[in-house]
Amino acid sequence: MVAATHRRLVDAAMALFAEQGFDSTSIEEVAARAGVGRTTFFRHFPTKEDVVFPDHQGLLQRVDARLATATAATGRTALEEATSIVLEHYLAEGETARQRYRLTRTVAPLRHRELASVHRYFRLFSGHLRRWLGDRPDAALLAELTASSIITAHNHVLRGWLRGEVEDPRVALTAVLEQALSRLPGETATEAAPVTVVVTTGSRDVETILGEVRRALLEP
């Protein structure tokens, strides 16, 4: 029953960490409460921190698989769904995710471990974005900016849900992703889609701006 031992170790660790703190709990104690030897703990988890976190390896693979199927044209949908995969994983965890959040907020090593995991998602997203953006000169920068925006937006929603401040995280995620993906070149769809315009200017003169817009559109 390797799966059962795994579960017992996680439960024992979470309980002890909540009771007496992460630093004040030795792996020997965790193993003892789980009814196994110290060696067995390290057969299931490479480090003391790993017992707290979900299976990011498997999650990363699923996200990677989703992003790998997409092209430049379908990238936006792939990004939304890939981000959703991660969010859904946490939502399915429920109280476990909240318990972990409480731990990572207070224990520095766990927080650092979390940051390392987040960075792997960043690398994954920016890699695929880079692939879709082709050989334009700012492809690398644009890919990294968009990837970090996606991660930040996702974490913003996730954190809100973990704190109980967001009622519908799925709706919230699509909303914030809209902002995160704003730098991406628009879909190639030439249908009569609603027009979205973003204007940044040092001048407020309408006709000057309109002139610049006309020129930018007509002389590419």
3-state secondary structure of 27: helix
CB-based burial label for 115 (10 Å; 0-12, 13-18, 19+): exposed
Answer yes or no: are the C-beta atoms of 30 and 52 closer than 8 Å. Answer: no
From the CB of 47, what's the least distance to DNA, in Å? 3
**Single-letter residue type at 209:** I
Residue 137 interface partner, choices its own copies, DNA, none, CB cut-off 5-8 Å depending on type: none
From the CB of 55, what's the least distance to DNA, in Å? 16
Answer yes or no: are the C-beta atoms of 67 and 131 closer than 8 Å. Answer: no
Q: Which of 152, 166, 169, 170 contacts its own copies by CB under 8 A?
A: 152
DSSP state of 51: G
65 binds its own copies (CB under 8 A): no
**Single-letter residue type at 75:** G
From the CB of 205, what's the least distance to DNA, in Å? 59
Provide the token pair at 87.
């969010």
52 binds its own copies (CB under 8 A): no
196 binds its own copies (CB under 8 A): yes
Q: Which of 112, 123, 136, 163 contacts its own copies by CB under 8 A?
A: 112
From the CB of 42, what's the least distance to DNA, in Å? 4
Characterize 78-103 residue by residue with b for buried, 16 or more Cβ atoms within 10 angstroms of its Cβ, and e for exposed. bbbebbbebbebbeeeeeebebbbeb
3-state secondary structure of 213: helix
208 binds its own copies (CB under 8 A): yes
112 binds DNA (CB under 7 A): no
Residue 157 CA to residue 135 CA, distance in Å, equals 32
127 binds DNA (CB under 7 A): no
Residues 32-71 close enough to bind DNA by CB under 7 A: 35-40, 42-44, 46-49
Q: Which of 1, 2, 4, 216 contacts its own copies by CB under 8 A?
A: 216
3-state secondary structure of 70: coil
CB-based burial label for 192 (10 Å; 0-12, 13-18, 19+): exposed
1 binds DNA (CB under 7 A): yes
Residue 48 interface partner, choices its own copies, DNA, none, CB cut-off 5-8 Å depending on type: DNA
Binding site for its own copies (CB under 8 A): 111-113, 115-116, 119, 138, 140-142, 144-145, 147-149, 151-153, 156, 176, 179-180, 182-183, 185-187, 189-204, 206, 208-210, 212-214, 216-218
